[in-house]
Structure 1
Amino acid sequence: MISILVAGAVSLLVSSFVMPYLIDRFTQRGVGQQIREDGPKDHMVKAGTPTMGGIAIILGMVLGYLAAHGNLGEGFTRDGLLLVSLAILTGFTGFLDDFIKIRNRRSLGLTKAGKFSMQFLIALAFAIAAHYWAHVPTEITFDRESSFNIQLGTVGWIVFATLVVVGASNAVNLTDGLDGLAAGSSIFSFATFAILGYWQFRHFPIYKVPHTLDEAIVSVSMVGALAGFLWWNAPPAKIFMGDTGSLAIGATLGGLALVMQLDLLLVILAGLFVIETLSVIAQVFSFRVFHKRVLRMAPIHHHFELLGWPETTVLIRLWILAALFTALGLGVFYADFLSLGTTTLR
């Protein structure tokens, strides 16, 4: 428990204190956000706001994770190192995307093919390493193999895991359209993963998932880093996370679900991100097939803005929705635990 608290405290402090430095440096160098011209008109005033705050998020998360393993007797695990590496590599992909946007002073960075290729290769490498190096099994389940599971086999699981990481990464990226939305919503999800990881650790004979304490440390490290970022990203935002942050956050969410064997529960715990992604899919499908838009603008948070809702109203209501999804996920997990008829702690 001490290692978890240390991880959260260090990541929070690092992110909180690095963020003002980034804001100052990026402002001086003109490293500002490029706003899409077809977006809500109210967003045009945000043009030039410093971006790439995801650098501090990743730095805080990594240093928080390392601090938890300092002199506390906690050993590094392959699962934890894989998750940290995944965050760094996907964050680097987002950094390249952000850098090109800033250099070319446009809202488009890497080409779609280039960006997806990098995400796919990183996710594929993670999936292969997770199975062959970290020995993550090839079943997918809600919370434990004995309750409900689907055996995919090695190839099937690697394909599935790759899609989960890429999908989760892009889902958070799509959600990052309002001040504080992606960061605040992600905090709920990572905090829940931290709780579930510690619970699995204390009840190892039931869940039989190794290294979940280290995965809880990764989760809390991300919570602290995101909280430090949110202090400066709350409306009106002083800095944006950029793709540097959103791609890393989403990929880490997907990676956590996979190594903790909570694959199917991710759909609930990340319910808001699922809705945001489905809104984009529905909009594109409807327009291409029926030549009509189902929303005034996608993702759905922009639709609510164009209905006349103030940005803070949209933000808080979607935060509430994200919290409800994570509460539902916790409820599903705990209900299954109660069905075992045991409260014996390890």
Structure 2
Amino acid sequence: MRLILLAGALGLLGALVGTRLAIGVLVRKGYGQYVRDDGPKEHLKKAGTPTMGGIAIIGAVLVAYFVSHLVLWTPPTASGLLLLGLFTGLGIVGFLDDWIKISRARSLGLNSRAKLIGQAAVAIGFAYACLQFPDSRGNTPGSQMVSFLRDIQWLHLGPWLAMVWIIFIIAAFSNGVNLSDGLDGLASGLSTMVFAAFALVNFWQYSQWCSRLSTSGPQCYEVRDPLDLAAVSLALAGACFGFLWWNASPAKIFMGDSGSLALGGAVAGLAVLTRTELLAAILGGMFVLITLSVILQVSYFKLTGGKRLFKMAPLHHHFEMKGWAEQTVVIRFWIICGIFIAAGLGLFYAEWLAGAELAR
């Protein structure tokens, strides 16, 4: 428990201080955001706001994880290191995208092929590695099964299909968070809540961990390193919350792709490593809705020869174009995210409770 709380506190403090320092450096260097001229006109005033704030989030999480382990003299785990590797790797891809935008003074960074190759390379490496490193019970960090509240035994994919499934999850969530990063405080606020929810999931899995309980029953959780994953989850939540101090409207810094791709990768990694892949679609339901709005917009546009389903995609821009204030959209999306998280955590606990009742 001390590890979890220390990691969360260090993540929060690191992001609060680190983001302020990053703002000063980025302003001096003139590394500002370029804004699309086809979006809501209110966004034009945001041009020049420092971007690449995701670097501060990544740095805060890494420092929080390793310092907390050093202070408490506990070794890192395979699951924790793999999650941080995915998080940092996608952050580097996002950083390259942000850097090209800044250095070439345009609103577009890496071309779609280069960005896809970078994401794929990181995702493939993670997918392969998380099926290695079995513990004393034979549990690897990731699973070859599709999971909902835990592994679904009859949906065993085998190693190759499991890797494809994991890569798909990473692509879906990394791009989902990336699409959500369009309004001041939106992606950082949503991410804070989702990572806090995963911290609760991980801690409960640790309390009912098969490797920890003296008598393992059908309701205990066969996962690799739940306590360490809880520490990473709370470090992520703390870092996003600290970043939100500076990212809330009117934002003094944007996280950029260096932050949004990294955070999306972390959501996907937690889904895989906690055996809650389909549950993650509920906990991160707001990311799913925003991604679906883009898919529906593009599909409808092509099928109808140029008509639009929404005034603008992603979904948050649609409501802006309808006249909602930016802060109103953000707060209402936070509320919807909270409803999704309450539903997801309720399902997670209800499944354990029902199983415990049957076991009596």
TM-score range, shorter chain: over 0.9
> In the alignment, which residue of structure 2 is the partner of 1:87?
87
> In the alignment, which residue of structure 2 is the partner of 1:102?
102
Q: Is it true that 1:311 corresponds to 2:326 in the alignment?
A: yes
| 2:18 alignment partner AA | V
- Output the TM-score relative to the length of structure 1: 0.97
Deviation at 1:132, TM superposition (A): 2.2
Q: CA RMSD in A?
A: 1.4
> In the alignment, which residue of structure 2 is the partner of 1:198?
203
> In the alignment, which residue of structure 2 is the partner of 1:216?
230
1:304-331 per-residue CA deviation (whole Å, 9 max, x = no partner) reads 0000000000000000011111111101
The question of whether the paired residues in 2 share the 8 Å contact of 1:92 and 1:244 is answered with: yes
Indicate the SS of the match to 2:59: helix
Q: Using the alignment, how far apart are the partners of 2:347 and 2:233 within structure 1?
A: 20
Q: Rate the CA distance shift 1:296–1:137 in 2: closer, same or farther, 3 A.
A: same
Q: Using the alignment, how far apart are the partners of 2:78 and 2:171 within structure 1?
A: 21
Unmatched segments (≥5 aa) in structure 2? 135-139, 211-219
Unmatched segments (≥5 aa) in structure 1? none
Q: Using the alignment, how far apart are the partners of 1:103 and 1:341 within structure 2?
A: 58
> In the alignment, which residue of structure 2 is the partner of 1:320?
335
Deviation at 1:342, TM superposition (A): 5.4
| 1:322 alignment partner AA | C
Q: Using the alignment, how far apart are the partners of 2:353 and 2:104 within structure 1?
A: 56
> In the alignment, which residue of structure 2 is the partner of 1:15?
15
Indicate the SS of the match to 1:34: coil
> In the alignment, which residue of structure 2 is the partner of 1:170?
175
Deviation at 1:341, TM superposition (A): 2.5
Indicate the SS of the match to 1:69: helix
1:177-214 per-residue CA deviation (whole Å, 9 max, x = no partner) reads 00000000011110010000010011013112120111
> In the alignment, which residue of structure 2 is the partner of 1:160?
165
State how 1:90-169 maps to structure 2 within 5 Å: 90-133=90-133, 135=140, 136-145=142-151, 150-169=155-174
Farther off after superposition, 275-284 or 124-133:
124-133
State how 1:275-294 maps to structure 2 within 5 Å: 275-291=289-305, 292-294=307-309
Deviation at 1:237, TM superposition (A): 0.2
The question of whether the paired residues in 2 share the 8 Å contact of 1:142 and 1:148 is answered with: no
Deviation at 1:239, TM superposition (A): 0.2
Q: Using the alignment, how far apart are the partners of 1:123 and 1:165 within structure 2?
A: 7
Q: Percent sequence identity over matched residues?
A: 47
Q: Rate the CA distance shift 1:343–1:78 in 2: closer, same or farther, 3 A.
A: farther
State how 1:5-84 maps to structure 2 within 5 Å: 5-84=5-84
Q: Using the alignment, how far apart are the partners of 1:340 and 1:171 within structure 2?
A: 33
Q: Using the alignment, how far apart are the partners of 2:92 and 2:295 within structure 1?
A: 26
- Output the TM-score relative to the length of structure 2: 0.93
Q: Using the alignment, how far apart are the partners of 2:98 and 2:148 within structure 1?
A: 35
| 2:342 alignment partner AA | A
Count of aligned positions: 343
The question of whether the paired residues in 1 share the 8 Å contact of 2:79 and 2:224 is answered with: no
Q: Is it true that 1:227 corresponds to 2:233 in the alignment?
A: no
Deviation at 1:141, TM superposition (A): 1.6
Q: Using the alignment, how far apart are the partners of 2:75 and 2:148 within structure 1?
A: 27
